[in-house]
Amino acid sequence: MAPDTTLCVIERGEGSLFSPPKGRKIPMKLIRLQRHQHPRPPHRELRQKRVLDSGYRSLGQVENLYVDEDMELHFVDVATSGFMGLRTKHHLVPVEAIASEDAGSITLSVDQQAVESAPTYADPHAGPEEDLQRSTREHYGYG
């Protein structure tokens, strides 16, 4: 029997594919997951996946994941490159903006303009400060 090569695509319905836990104060103290750590289920490992906008244009890739003390995923860091791969910029994207996920990519419910005009993140190795969390969530309409 041949191996099953069916591609599983997870899509969102009326809400988001990912959403923060109910009853949690947002913004909050978040940490960047180390490479050997993984977010709490139902979230999956998203790092190194290609990021597509709502029009299926490639924006960059997921570099980092930011979680709370319970390992609940709240933001992904989308690294975008400028002309010829120069000047990498890091943009926080709330998990609510992830519309679907497949084996090699995630698709956002927002367009390229929304991501590129979002606040940039100067130090992607540290957890985002509360002001940046708040302004990012407001930018995407989740504030």
- Residue 38 domain-assigned (yes or no): yes
- Residue 11 domain-assigned (yes or no): no
Q: How confident is the model at residue 143 (pLDDT cuts 50, 70, 90)?
A: confident
CATH number, residue 91: 3.90.50.10
How many structural domains compose the chain?
1
Q: Which of 36, 28, 4 is nearest to 94 (CA)?
A: 28
Instruction: Identify the pLDDT of residue 27.
Output: 55
- The answer to whether 83 and 72 are in contact (CB under 8 A) is no
- Residue 2 domain-assigned (yes or no): no
Calculate mean pLDDT across residues 1-12: 40
Residue type at 20 in one-letter notation: P
Instruction: Identify the pLDDT of residue 23.
Output: 47
Encode pLDDT of 87-117 as tens digits: 789 999 999 999 999 989 999 999 999 999 9
Instruction: Identify the pLDDT of residue 99.
Output: 96
Encode pLDDT of 9-34 as tens digits: 334 444 455 555 444 455 579 999 99
Residue type at 3 in one-letter notation: P
Full residue range of the structural domain in which residue 108 is found:
25-139
- Residue 116 domain-assigned (yes or no): yes
Q: How confident is the model at residue 2 (pLDDT cuts 50, 70, 90)?
A: very low
- Residue 8 domain-assigned (yes or no): no
Contacts of the segment 107-112: beta carbons below 8 A, 24+ positions apart: 107/52, 107/53, 107/54, 107/56, 108/51, 108/52, 108/53, 108/54, 108/59, 109/12, 109/16, 109/54, 110/53, 110/54, 110/140, 111/53, 111/54, 111/55, 112/53, 112/55, 112/57, 112/59
| pTM, to two decimals | 0.80
Phi, psi for 11 (deg, rounded to 5): -125, 155
Instruction: Identify the pLDDT of residue 82.
Output: 67
- Residue 39 domain-assigned (yes or no): yes
Instruction: Identify the pLDDT of residue 3.
Output: 41
- Residue 3 domain-assigned (yes or no): no
Phi, psi for 58 (deg, rounded to 5): -75, 125
Instruction: Identify the pLDDT of residue 70.
Output: 92
Encode pLDDT of 64-79 as tens digits: 999 999 999 999 999 9
- Residue 5 domain-assigned (yes or no): no
Place of tokens 């947002």: 26
Instruction: Identify the pLDDT of residue 5.
Output: 38
